Structure 1
Amino acid sequence: MLSDKQKQQFKDRLLEMKEEAEAQMEEYKEDQAKEDYENDRTGEISSVADHPGDQGTDQFERAKEQTFYEQAREKLMEVEDALKRMEEGRYGLSEKSGEPIPVERLEAMPTARYKVEEIENEANN
Structure 2
Amino acid sequence: MNHLTKEQLQTLRDMLVREKRDLEHHFDKGNEESVSDESLRVSTGELSSYDNHPADVGTETFERSRDLAIDENLRNRLDEIDRALDKIEDLTYGSCEVCHREIPYERLEILPYTSFCVEHTPERTISNDRPVEEDVMTTPPKGAGEHRQRDAGAFDDAGAWRSLEEYGNSDSPAMAAKRNAPDYNSLSTDED
Q: Shorter-chain TM-score category?
A: 0.7 to 0.9
Distance 2:74 2:121 in 1: 23
Matches within 5 A, 1:18-97: 18-27=20-29, 29-30=32-33, 32=35, 35=38, 38=41, 41-42=43-44, 47=48, 48-97=50-99
How much does 1:94 deviate? 1.5
Q: Which residue of 1 aligns with 2:104?
A: 102
State whether residues 49 and 55 of structure 1, in contact with CA within 8 Å, keep that contact through their aligned partners in structure 2.
no
Question: Offset at 1:81?
Answer: 0.3
Equivalenced residues, count: 118
8 Å CA contact 1:25–1:72 kept in 2: the answer is no
Alpha-carbon distance in 1 for matches of 2:121, 2:35: 37
Q: Answer whether contact 1:94 1:101 (CA < 8 A) is retained.
A: yes
Q: Secondary structure at the match of 1:112?
A: coil
**Distance in 2 (alpha carbons) for counterparts of 1:82 and 1:118:** 17
Tell me the TM-score normalised to structure 1 length: 0.78
Amino acid aligned to 2:93: Y
Instruction: Give the drift of 1:25.
Output: 2.3
Higher share in helix: 1
Q: Please say if 1:115 is aligned against 2:117.
A: yes
Please tell me the residue identity of whatever aligns with 1:59. T
Offset, 1:117? 2.6
Letter in 2 for 1:17: E
Which runs of 5 or more residues in structure 1 are unaligned?
121-125
Quick one: which amino acid aligns to residue 98 of structure 1?
A: H
Residue in structure 1 matched with residue 139 of structure 2 by the alignment: none
Would the aligned equivalents of 2:35 and 2:68 in 1 still touch at CA under 8 Å?
A: no
Greater relative CO (CA pairs within 8 A, separation 6+): 1
Displacement of 1:49 after TM fit? 3.2
Percent pairwise identity: 34
Deviations 1:14-67 (A, max 9, x none): 01111122222234954639947946x4365x6343311111111111111111
Contact 1:94 1:113 in 2 (8 A): yes
Q: Which entry has the higher C-alpha Rg, 1 or 2?
A: 2
